[in-house]
A and B are shown apart, each in its own frame.
Chain A
Amino acid sequence: QVQLVESGGGLVKPGGSLRLSCAASGFTFSEFYMSWVRQAPGKGLEWVSYITTSWTVYYADSVKGRVTISRDNAKNSLSLQMNSLRAEDTAVYYCTRLYYNIMADKGYHFDYWGQGIPVTVSS
C-alpha cells in the first residue's frame, strides 16, 4: 500500500533553515508528481510546491525564492529545503502524491497524504 512518511520537522528560529524529507513506498515513485501542502495552526490547507516526473518545479508565491523542492528517484525520496524561515511558515507540512496522467491530461489531485510533520518558527 502507498505510504508517505515525513521527517525533519521541528523548532527553528526566524531566519533559519530546515530540510523536510518524505520517504515514499508502495508505488513506482519516479512515475508520479509529488507535492508539499501545509496547514498553519487553526487555518486551512495551503499548497506549497510540486515537482513533476521531469523535475520541473512550481512554487506558491508565499514561499518562492525561499524554498526548494527536490526528488531522488533512486531513494524514493522527496525533500523540501526551507530557508529564511518566518513565523508565518509555522505549520504542519504534508507530503502528498499529486496524481497526473500526462497521456490523458487528467488528474492534478492529491490522492495520498502523509501523516504530516510540524514545523515551528519561533525565537
Chain B
Amino acid sequence: QSALTQPASVSGSPGQSITISCTGTSSDVGAYNFVSWYQQHPGKAPKLMIYEVSNRPSGVSNRFSGSKSGNTASLIISGLQAEDEADYYCNSHTTSSTLVFGSGTKVTVL
C-alpha cells in the first residue's frame, strides 16, 4: 500500500492554470475510475473536489477538473485564485479493495 506519487509543490500566478499529477499503478489508479481529489486548507478538514476521475460535486467551482491516462490521474485548476492555495490529495480504490492517498501537493499562488 504505497502512497500514490504527487509533486510536493506546484505554483502559479493568479489567472494561470496548473496541473497536479497523481501516479499510481495498474493495481490502483490504472485499475478503476475511482480516483478522487481533496483540497485541504491549514487546520481544516479535507474537502472533496473531484470524484470518479472527472466529476465535480455540487458547489465546487468549474475551474477544477480532472482526467486520467493509464496509471496517472491529473487535477487541473484553471483561472488560479488566491483561495486555491492549499494542499491537494488524490485518492484511489485498489484491486485489494483498500484505498490509498497520494503524497500530497502544496499549491502556492504567487
Contacts and interface: CB of A to CB of B under 8 A. Distances in A.
Per CB-CB distance, the 8 closest pairs between chain A and chain B, nearest first, are A109-B36, A44-B104, A108-B34, A109-B51, A108-B93, A113-B45, A47-B99, A45-B101
Grouping DSSP codes into helix (H, G, I), strand (E, B) and loop, the A interface class, with mixed when no group exceeds half, is strand
Interface of B: 1, 3, 32, 34, 36, 38, 40, 45-48, 51-52, 57, 87, 89, 91, 93, 97-104
Contacts of A113: 45-47
B48 A44 contact: no
B103 A109 contact: no
A65 interface: no
Interface string A34-67: 0101000000111100100000001111100000
Interface residues of A, number: 25
A2 to B, nearest CB: 12
A29 interface: no
Contacts of B51: 99, 107, 109, 111
